[in-house]
Structure 1
Amino acid sequence: MRAFIFPGQGSQAVGMGSALSAASPHAREVFQEVDEALGQKLSKLMAEGPEDQLTLTANAQPAIMANAIAVLRVLEKEAGLSLADKADFVAGHSLGEYSALCAAGAIDLATTAKLLRTRGEAMQAAVPVGVGAMAALLGVDVEKAQAIADAAAEGQVCTVANDNDPSQVVISGHREAIERAIGMAKEMGAKRALLLPVSAPFHCPLMQPAADAMAEALGGVAIQGALVPLYANVTAAPAGDPELIRALLVEQVTGMVRWRESVLAMQAAGVTSFVELGGKVLGGMVKRIAADAAVISVVSMDDIEALAKTL
């Protein structure tokens, strides 16, 4: 069995999608559709920068999604492969869940782009700049990371945001609490703790205003049944029903990204092969979670051609 997986924030880079766009009219169509949906030349920003503008959450989220869907569109149109035929499940890391749902036909491309623009803006606006922070704890499991977060909280928000793999857990919350956690992490068993260059404390209770905004935005959106089930971030379990998907996308804004558990659950369900579309971040995580799984990351035309030969 096979899962198609989609990367989250941090996968953006100036130049993303440029070579694929130059090589394929189908990729260009995706970028053009996203540009039109947003009323912005996002594809130009992706191709040329500046980097600080591309990194803004409201731009990075739809850009990463557009890049992943462009890869899929080329795979489907030029290699003649269908996700519904070649994938048993889809999953995405944080915003990648929207890419996965778009890929699986649950939400159309233009709507997905608009939702991610709203999500990015709402997440940025939820907490004043400087009030929140995130940190990566390396060399600890999720239980140890939560113990560090609990010890550092001192009445503030400090909690696990991303359970990425057995050796990397991300915490999120008030800046002071995150800085305390970094200070005590080594003596509590972490190999390293480092502040992340993010503009807001994602996936923690401080994001509740953004969750409210997404509940309103998603309430007016048509969600179809997914062609293949989505392994959801907040449950690490499959979801296909449109109303369940809608609820999980709202919960995801403040909830923990249970990526390690999701990969293990997919493996337990029979998945032996993971295909990452539009990035090269999740592949490494998957290998650290499920060492015997086959993993391929697909970004370029060469990657697409190589994958097409194996499917």
Structure 2
Amino acid sequence: MKAFIFPGQGAQTVGMGKALAEAYPAARAVFDEVDEALGEKLSDLIWNGPIEDLTLTANAQPALMATSLAALRALESQGVKITDAAFVAGHSLGEYSALAAVGSLSIADTARLLRIRGRAMQEAVPVGMGAMAALLGMDFATAAQVAADAAQGEVCQAANDNDPSQVVISGHKAAVERAVALAKERGGKRAMLLPVSAPFHCALMQPAAEAMAKALAEVTFRAPAVPVVANVRAEAVSDPETLRALLIEQVTGSVRWRESVLWMAGQGVSEFWEIGAGKALSGMVKRISREAATRNFGLPEDVQALSA
């Protein structure tokens, strides 16, 4: 049994998806559709940079979705169907890619939503006020306790439960710095601040959640062709209105990726196909479920290897 999984922010690189667009007309059509939806040549930024502009949250989010959907269209041109997957899931913004992949959202609506989401998340907290940090060698329960103990009246919470030894925390900068020091005292292997522009997936993102509630209310959600394993539930959801509500909750809620992978494995998923840029999720999957097989599809040769 397979699951298709879609990467989140941090996977972006200049040039991603360009070879797919050149090799597969259906992949090129995705980038054209995203450009038209946004009223600008995002594809030019994706393929030519500069990386500083591509990494801006408002650009990176629709860019990564476009690359994932282009890779999926390339796979479909080789006979792969979305219904070949028992489940789909995405890491943070990757959940939007997953929803577009299964037809819950149109690609154009998804691109516009991610542009709004990226801007709203960036603007929710003044620059320099928030931070995120990775705590390595520490399980989720311990990391969550470290975050809580470091808060001291500020916001500091576990944001991403990525795999058994990597938890990302988010919140006020001073509180996150306290948590980094505390994690080292409590036996963490490593703890380091991350080069991010805002403290995602914590209570400080409430203004962004409100902006997304308004934006999501204005788009059509359809029943997904394949159940979506939602970040904040770590289980499959198929009801369109529930999926809409969970995307709002996701802005301030934890990304329960480790639990999501374990849930899918528990349902019989033995193969995870990472569709889009990078291989970060595949690495996490292998650390979560050692017996799971992973494949990556971000380049034409990845797609061509299927028929071989």
Q: TM-score range by the shorter chain?
A: over 0.9
Q: How does 1:104-183 map to 2 (within 5 A)?
A: 104-183=102-181
Given that 1:81 and 1:308 are in contact with CA atoms closer than 8 Å, whether structure 2 keeps it comes out as: no
Aligned-pair CA distance for 1:17: 1.1
Aligned-pair CA distance for 1:189: 1.3
Q: How does 1:6-85 map to 2 (within 5 A)?
A: 6-77=6-77, 79-84=78-83
CA distance in 1, matches of 2:51, 2:224: 34
Given that 1:298 and 1:307 are in contact with CA atoms closer than 8 Å, whether structure 2 keeps it comes out as: no
Aligned-pair CA distance for 1:292: 0.1
Matched, 1:284 2:307: no
Paired residue secondary structure (1:60)? helix
CA distance in 1, matches of 2:82, 2:28: 20
How high is the sequence identity, in percent, across the aligned residues? 63
Paired residue secondary structure (1:186)? helix
CA distance in 2, matches of 1:76, 1:18: 17
CA distance in 2, matches of 1:19, 1:196: 30
The letter of the residue matching 2:285 is V
Paired residue secondary structure (1:88)? strand
CA distance in 1, matches of 2:281, 2:306: 17
CA distance in 2, matches of 1:8, 1:186: 27
CA distance in 2, matches of 1:19, 1:297: 15
Aligned-pair CA distance for 1:308: 4.5
TM (normalized to structure 2)?
Answer: 0.98
Paired residue secondary structure (2:185)? coil
CA distance in 2, matches of 1:5, 1:305: 19
Paired residue secondary structure (1:94)? coil
CA distance in 1, matches of 2:145, 2:109: 39
Aligned-pair CA distance for 1:9: 0.3
CA distance in 2, matches of 1:126, 1:34: 25
How far does the alpha carbon of each residue in 1:83-135 deviate from its partner, in whole angstroms, 9 at most, with x for none?
11x11100000000000000001101000000000000100011011110000
**Corresponding residue number in structure 2 for 1:92:** 90
CA distance in 2, matches of 1:255, 1:100: 18
Any gaps of 5 or more consecutive residues in structure 2? none
Query: Judging changes above 3 Å, is the alpha-carbon distance between structure 1 residues 308 and 216 closer, same or farther for their aligned structure 2 residues?
Result: farther
* Alpha-carbon RMSD: 0.8
TM (normalized to structure 1)?
Answer: 0.97
Matched, 1:198 2:168: no
Question: How many equivalent pairs are there?
Answer: 307
The letter of the residue matching 2:137 is G
